[in-house]
Amino acid sequence: MTLRAAVRAVLAVVIVPAAVLAGERARSTGPAGGAATSARREKVARAALALRDRLVAQRRDFHMHPELSNREERTAGVVAERLRALGLTDVRTGVARHGVTALLVGGKPGPVVAVRADMDALPIQETIDVPYKSQVAGVKHACGHDVHTTVELGVAEVLAGMKAEIPGTVKFIFQPAEEGSPAGEEGGAPLMIKEGAMENPRPAAIFGLHTNPNVDVGQIAYMSGPAMASSDHLYITIRGKSAHGAQPHAGVDAVVVAAECITALQNIRSRRIDPLEPLVITIGTIHGGVRNNVIAAEVKMEGTMRTLSEDVRQRAKALVRETLQSITAAYGATFELNMDENAVVTFNEPSLVLETLPTIRGVVGDANVVAIKPLMPAEDFAYFQKVVPGFYYFLGVGNRAKGITAGWHTPEFDVDEDSLVVGVKVMSNVLLEYLERHAAAGK
Ligand SMILES: [Zn+2]
Ligand SMILES: [Zn+2]
């Protein structure tokens, strides 16, 4: 989840009524079970459990050596070395600076499926006193990407041990700079895609997971359809004309015009867009003027805009421009507007969610799979989902009894490490059963 996305999201875990889940199960594709499936799930569970201590050690190693976006050199080195040791092929490094991709070609014919983990940390000073405390001042894995990387390496190990029986190919993607590249640098999912990570071979679908401290360890949370918001960074400059503070009619007061603009931008949310469509427009900074008794010639503002629909996003972007245009014109001021796209909507393809849920339920149990509301933070996994259908779900890492409740991007963020085995089990089975289903269907 991106740094810029951490605007104090209020997260509500909504347990969907049993009747809804039952209906969803009825519509899903065929039975989840079968003797062969059960046996394979047990085999995966044993393999994942056997990795437990090493998963914990690996996650702690990453946690103690966090690296900022586009600087994940050590992490990528550990990842590439591990993938090579496991016998994966076509291990490519340096994709989008420090990204790594690799293939596990199964022993049976079948399609290609991808799994993605992000590797970067955040410029946050860790405050919790744990044996695996960050050893880098001011840098911390506060979003759980250490968990994501560890889980995906665990999945690679489990699946490498079952290579002969895998019908198809798993493409492993380890991505840098999910939290946002440093100013002036490209990075993250868009750059990986630009540099060919989704080609040769192109996967038919992609899966990913994210830690969620609001979901208990042992549980998986998901959304079907829009899952996380788009994010656009707004840069606004209002230009007026300076004058004596006691003679405002001789100038154009950029502060007053900016105030009108801010109010009017909020009215886009309340009066111009369908109330049933989520939209947030936040002006987060405002700077202008030089003195108490001088009419301000210029005001600069920055903000963020979040939606769960591309249509709403495009409409809102047009309305922001139109609003600034009209209000500044009414007062004889001018404006400049730049909108930088940080992320598009994370969209979980409903049919892929539906066909995958029986696997997840089969692994963690029906009661441990919870549907939650979409989140307004953004996630650049969304760009992979623009290339092929994808499903991004949440791995429960919270544990109230152990006091593990701190939110993403906080100095206290931590995870219950029991989540590592759960993550490996679930993702391994999700990938295996995707390949089984689609190899059988011939697509
Ligand atoms: Zn994040
Ligand atoms: Zn994240």
Write out pLDDT tens, residues 274-295: 999 999 999 999 999 999 999 9
Do the Cβ atoms of 131 and 117 come closer than 8 Å? no
pLDDT tens-digit profile of 382-403? 999 999 999 999 999 999 999 9
CA of 253 from ligand 1 middle (Å) equals 39
Does the pLDDT value for residue 14 go beyond 50?
Answer: no
CA of 271 from ligand 2 middle (Å) equals 33
Q: Would you tell me the crossing angle of helices 350-364 and 418-440 to the nearest 10 degrees?
A: 130
Nearest ligand, CA 122: 1
pLDDT tens-digit profile of 129-148? 999 999 999 999 999 999 99
pLDDT tens-digit profile of 336-381? 999 999 999 999 999 999 999 999 999 999 999 999 999 999 999 9
178, 253, 355, 417: the catalytic one is 178
CA distance 219 to 42: 18
First to last CA, the chain: 31
67, 72, 118, 120: the catalytic one is 120
In this structure, which amino acid lies at residue 110? G
Residue 293: C-alpha distances to residues 252, 254, 297, 300 (Å): 14, 14, 12, 19
Does the pLDDT value for residue 5 go beyond 90?
Answer: no
| Per-residue confidence (pLDDT) for residue 74, from 0 to 100 | 98
Q: What is the mean pLDDT of the chain?
A: 93
CA of 11 from ligand 2 middle (Å) equals 15
pLDDT tens-digit profile of 197-230? 999 999 999 999 999 999 999 999 999 999 999 9
Does the pLDDT value for residue 122 go beyond 50?
Answer: yes
Q: Is 274 a catalytic residue?
A: no
The whole-number average pLDDT for the span 24-40 is 65
Structure tokens that stand for 31 in this block: 């039975």
| pLDDT classification of 21: cutoffs 50, 70, 90 | very low
Query: To which residue do tokens 């995906």 refer?
Result: 152
- Reported pTM: 0.89
Question: Can you give the C-alpha Rg of the chain in angstroms?
Answer: 24
Q: Is 67 a catalytic residue?
A: no
Tell me the residues surrounding ligand 1 (ion) with CB < 5 Å: 1, 143
The burial class, CB within 10 Å (0-12 / 13-18 / 19+), for 183 is exposed
Nearest ligand, CA 380: 2
CA of 1 from ligand 1 middle (Å) equals 4
CA of 178 from ligand 1 middle (Å) equals 7
CA of 413 from ligand 2 middle (Å) equals 12
Do the Cβ atoms of 305 and 232 come closer than 8 Å? yes
